[in-house]
C-alpha cells in the first residue's frame, strides 16, 4: 500500500526504511529538505492515491496539532490520519472528533522501539475503530517485530497512547531499580567488578531484560559512567501516568518515585541518574549531558 509519513527524525526515518523494506510505498515529508521526498504536505497528499493513509510522527502538542489541522484541510472523506507520536491520549479524542466532521478517520498509535526499531521492529499499541485500524493494518504488520507479539489493538481512540504512556511509566520504574542497584554496588568496597555482576544477571535471573542488556552495553562503553552527568530529563509521559493514576485513584508508588527521582537529578549530580541517562541514550538515542571536567 501507499503511506504518507510526516516527521523523519530518529524514529520516523527508520520507520520509513522498515516499511519500504516490506514492499510498501512511503512518501515522506520533513521540515529538513535533505530528509524529505516532497516539499510540502500538499505535495505529499497529492502524491497518494485515495483513500489515503497519512502517518504523523512529530513532537506532541503544538506540532502535532498544527499538522493535524493542516491535514484536515488537505485530505478527503475516507482518508485516515495516524498519530504515531507521543501525544497525550486526551488529545486523540479531540483530533478524532475534528477529523470526523470532515469524514476523515483517525487512529492513535503508541510506538516503542527507539533507535533499534529498524533492526528489531517496533512495538505498536493502537486505538481506533475496527474499520479504521484495518486500513492501516498492512503498515502495522510491516513495522512490528517478527513473531506473534509486539502489536495490539488496545481499544477505542486514545487507548493506544494511553497504553504507551503506561508502558513508559513502567520503563521509568524499571530503569530506576537498575540504577539504584548499580549505585549501591558501586558504593561497597568489597564489590570489585560491578559491570561483570550486571553482565552475569543477563542469564538465569528473574531480573534479566533488554534494559539490563542495554545497561551492560553502557557500562562496556564507560565502566563507571564517569563521562556522564547525573541528569535525566523526563519526556512528559511519566508525569501523565502519575496524573492519570491520581484521576483514577490507582496507587503507583514505584512509578511516582522514579519520576520524582528525575526531578532530584536536576538539583545534584546523581549517580543513579548517570545510569538512567545511559539507558535512555542506549535505547532511544536521547541526549546525555557530559560530566564536568575536573580542574
Q: How far is CA 46 from CA 14, 69, 204, 284, in A?
A: 23, 17, 54, 33
| Residue 243 annotated as catalytic | no
Spatial CB neighbours of 192, under 8 Å, sequence gap ≥ 6: none
Tell whether omega for the bond before 51 is within 30 degrees of 0, i.e. cis. Answer: yes
Residue 30 CA to residue 16 CA, distance in Å, equals 12
Three-state secondary structure of 192-240: CCHHHHHHHCCCCCCCCCHHHHHHHHHHHHCCCCCCECCCCCCCCHHHH
Instruction: Give the three cell numbers for residue 183.
Output: 549505585
Residue 102 among the catalytic residues: no
Question: What is the C-alpha to C-alpha distance for residues 47 and 52, in angstroms, rounded to an integer?
Answer: 10
d(CA 109, CA 92) in angstroms, rounded, equals 10
Sequence-separated (6 or more) residues with CB below 8 Å from residue 104: 71, 72, 75, 76, 77, 78, 79, 80, 81
Kindly report the backbone phi and psi dihedral angles of residue 113, in degrees, each rounded to the nearest multiple of 5, phi listed first.
155, -25
Among candidate residues 144, 164, 237, 282, the one labeled active-site is 164
Q: Are strands 123-127 and 151-155 parallel, antiparallel or unpaired?
A: parallel
Active-site residue, selected from the candidate residues 73, 76, 137, 171: 171
- Cα–Cα dist 264/273, whole Å: 9
Q: 151 pairs with which residues across the strands?
A: 124
The catalytic residues are: 164, 171
Amino acid at each position: 500500500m501507499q503511506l504518507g509519513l510526516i516527521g523523519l527524525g530518529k524514529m520516523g526515518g527508520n520507520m520509513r526504511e522498515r516499511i519500504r523494506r516490506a514492499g510498501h510505498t512511503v512518501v515522506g515529508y520533513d521540515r529538513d529538505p535533505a530528509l524529505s521526498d516532497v516539499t510540502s504536505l500538499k505535495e505529499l497528499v497529492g502524491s497518494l492515491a485515495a483513500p489515503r493513509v497519512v502517518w504523523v510522527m512529530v513532537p506532541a502538542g503544538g506540532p502535532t496539532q498544527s499538522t493535524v489541522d493542516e491535514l484536515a484541510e488537505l485530505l478527503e472523506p475516507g482518508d485516515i490520519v495516524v498519530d504515531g507520536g507521543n501525544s497525550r491520549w486526551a488529545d486523540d479524542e479531540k483530533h478524532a472528533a475534528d477529523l470526523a466532521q470532515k469524514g476523515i478517520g483517525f487512529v492513535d498509535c503508541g510506538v516503542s522501539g527507539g533507535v533499534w526499531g529498524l533492526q528489531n521492529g517496533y512495538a505498536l499499541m493502537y486505538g481506533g475503530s475496527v474499520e479504521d485500524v484495518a486500513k492501516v493494518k498492512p503498515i502495522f504488520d510491516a513495522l512490528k517485530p517478527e513473531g506473534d507479539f509486539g502489536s495490539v489493538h488496545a481499544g477505542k481512540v486514545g487507548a493506544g497512547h494511553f497504553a504507551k504512556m503506561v508502558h513508559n511509566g513502567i520503563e521509568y520504574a524499571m530503569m530506576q531499580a537498575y540504577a539504584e542497584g548499580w549505585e549501591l554496588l558501586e558504593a561497597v568496597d568489597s564489590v570489585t567488578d560491578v559491570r561483570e555482576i550486571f553482565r552475569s544477571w543477563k542469564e538465569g535471573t528473574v531480573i534479566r531484560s533488554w534494559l539490563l542488556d542495554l545497561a551492560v552495553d553502557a557500562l562496556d562503553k564507560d565502566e563507571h559512567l564517569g563521562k556522564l552527568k547525573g541528569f535525566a530529563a523526563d519526556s512528559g509521559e511519566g508525569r501523565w501516568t502519575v496524573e492519570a493514576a491520581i484521576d483514577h485513584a490507582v496507587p503507583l508508588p514505584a512509578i511516582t518515585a522514579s519520576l520524582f527521582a528525575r526531578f532530584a537529578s536536576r538539583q545534584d549530580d546523581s549517580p543513579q541518574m548517570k545510569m538512567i541517562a545511559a539507558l535512555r541514550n542506549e535505547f532511544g538515542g536521547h541526549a546525555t549531558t557530559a560530566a564536568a571536567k575536573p580542574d
